[in-house]
Amino acid sequence: MEPTSVKEIDLKPIAGKMYMNFNREWREEFIYFLLIDRFHDEKSRKPNTSGTERSNGIQTPDNAFYGGKIKGITQNLDYIAGLGCTAIWVSPVFENNPGAYHGYNINNYLNIDPNFGTKNDLIELVDKAHNYIKDGKPFPMRIILDVVINHSGDNWEYDGGGKDYNNDNRFNFGYWRRNDRPIPTELRNPDYYHCKGNMNNYDSYPENQHGDMCGLKDYSNDDDSEGNTLLDILIKAHCYWIKETDIDGFRVDAVKHMGELACSKFSSTIREYAYSLGKKGFFLFGELATPNDDAVNRYVGQNTSRLDGNKTVFFGLDSILDFRLAEGIYGDTHNSPLRNVIKGFSGPETLFNRYEAQRQRALNRGEIGKYLVTFVDNHDSFWQSSGRISCGAPDEQVIASIGYLLCSLGTACIYYGTEQGFSGSGGDNNIREAMFDKNKSTINLLNTNCRIYSEISKIANVMRAKEALRFGRMYFREISGDGIHFGLPFGYTYTLAFSRVLYGSEVLVAYNVSDTSRNDYIVVDSTIHQANRNMTFLYGGTGNINVNEAPNGTLSVRLDLKPRQFVILE
């Protein structure tokens, strides 16, 4: 029997168990984000690998469990590792209310949702990932759980029915929807919830931190007696899963709607518990769904804006999902989404501005690549009205999008199905396609011959082999049409280029944004290269190219790029 109360939880390490501690830094990882229900069931299916074309994905009934299982992930680790991914971010696994296939409507934090499997299934997944062998060599993979601590599921109703947020007024609690939920039983206390109705403004304080989210009941995690007790309950429940399964990190949902101090207390305590088990690299990154970099300061590291008096310094999240890069700033053409740059809809200054904003925070961010989990699409439609990155995009643009993430600053994250060219658009369910057809028992869509999949895999292998692409400083490069007059690119038809430089080595990444061929000279580091020496293609081309010297001493290489060609050189 699984525990139903935190009083029943023993957090002493499992006797004789050696908990996993990775040597790789998190910025070295390539994360594969999947929804359990839509990735794969536990049937033994074979992909149709006869062609290199993309797939459309299987559209599923809205708001219904489709049949994906934890075992489906375990049985297909070869597919994920073959893409080059070294970590798997798994959608919430805990028991949910009916219809919540996505996992964000939790009613039991101490058990796995039976639609997904069992605790032993999760233990097996983690163990098989940690001990994965690729090409005859150890290839340990991390498992990250998506956790929801800002709000509970829709586990109770207001007195008189549903309410909308109104001037921070508290409404009367009505009744629990089930007599045996939520779990842990300690959560059955109305004082642990703000009880202020559904929020309508997701960006205005205090509504965005006190209101419910579409019926999901907001926890009262304020810095008071009830809030601290609530936080202790949630911390202990989540430590339980670290102890039992040896997972390697948490992606923390909806942190923008949490109090900053509560988020940092949770992060500090979870991190300390992981340390006590010997897990020194437990990773906590958050969904801060805003392009506002100033908000990041309140959640990452020790920079919380609401401090705990003079008592304790709590360290917050290790990292955040980089919504500024993925979403851009609405209405600001100079800060557009990454996808718009890759597709040629926006100029390159949007990327220059994004990294300049990060550079200005370098003094309190350290090596800034550690503090970004970068992505181009995900499971939520609220910020990506145009749908998945593949929607309306040829293969080359999809490959370049993920290639950019893999080669630039940050920890690259790919949303499942992107590697197969899934191109859903519309509401949430439309971009959460299944990779298997439950009505056909033998076929899945895990095609390792798909061109997008195979090209991403090649780029990931280059990233894994070159330290500069994981640890190096990043510089956008000037270009020239004549090899003499150089400047940063502009407009909508250009070669986008940047270098990663690491102590005496430079890796150059270039992408022809336009749909016509280009022949541009691209600046390279004059302290590393010499005129008339060569640079070698690592991806996207073959052989060597000569380093040229301009009259003013500028060194460059001339790249003859086909439309939308993506290349890497050293």
DSSP label at residue 41: -
Topology of the domain covering 469-569: Immunoglobulin-like (2.60.40)
pLDDT at 478 over 50: yes
**What pLDDT, on a 0 to 100 scale, did the predictor assign at position 358?**
81
- pLDDT tens string 368-393: 667 789 999 999 999 999 999 999 99
- pLDDT tens string 404-419: 999 999 999 999 999 9
For residue 23, list its beta bridge partners.
none
**What pLDDT, on a 0 to 100 scale, did the predictor assign at position 243?**
98
Mean pLDDT of 432-451: 95
| 6-150+247-465 and 469-569 in the same fold | no
CATH architecture of 6-150+247-465: Alpha-Beta Barrel (3.20)
pLDDT at 38 over 60: yes
Largest CA distance in the chain: 81
- pLDDT tens string 536-559: 999 999 999 999 999 999 999 999
pLDDT over 70 percentage in the chain: 97
The dihedral formed by the CA atoms of 525, 526, 531 and 537, expressed in degrees to the nearest 10: -10
**Secondary structure class of 88 (helix, strand, coil):** strand
CB atoms within 10 A of CB 549: 15
Mean pLDDT of 55-75: 95
Beta strands in 363-485 (DSSP E): 372-374, 411-415, 443-444, 473-476, 479-480
State the amino acid at position 22 in one-letter form: F
Reported as a pLDDT band with limits 50, 70 and 90, residue 182 is: very high
For residue 502, list its beta bridge partners.
505
For residue 343, list its beta bridge partners.
none
pLDDT at 362 over 60: no
CA angle 52, 58, 60 (to 5 degrees): 170
**Secondary structure class of 308 (helix, strand, coil):** strand
Alpha-carbon distance 267 to 275, whole Å?
Answer: 12
Reported as a pLDDT band with limits 50, 70 and 90, residue 57 is: very high
Average pLDDT, the chain: 94
Reported as a pLDDT band with limits 50, 70 and 90, residue 298 is: confident
**Region of poorest pLDDT, from 354-363, 454-463, 478-487:** 354-363
Q: Do 217 and 156 touch, CB atoms closer than 8 A?
A: yes
pTM for this model (two decimals): 0.97
Mean pLDDT of 146-157: 98
* Cα of 194 vs its chain's centroid, Å: 29
SS3 labels along 349-371? HHHHHHHHHHHCCHHHCCCHHHH
Mean pLDDT of 223-248: 97
pLDDT at 365 over 80: no
- pLDDT tens string 450-473: 999 999 999 999 999 999 999 999
pLDDT at 273 over 80: yes
**What pLDDT, on a 0 to 100 scale, did the predictor assign at position 297?**
76
pLDDT at 363 over 60: no
- pLDDT tens string 66-105: 999 999 999 999 999 999 999 999 999 999 999 999 999 9
pLDDT at 366 over 60: no
pLDDT at 30 over 50: yes
Nearest to 39 by CA among 8, 60, 17, 62: 60
Q: Per-domain residue ranges for the chain?
A: 6-150+247-465, 152-220, 469-569
Reported as a pLDDT band with limits 50, 70 and 90, residue 310 is: low
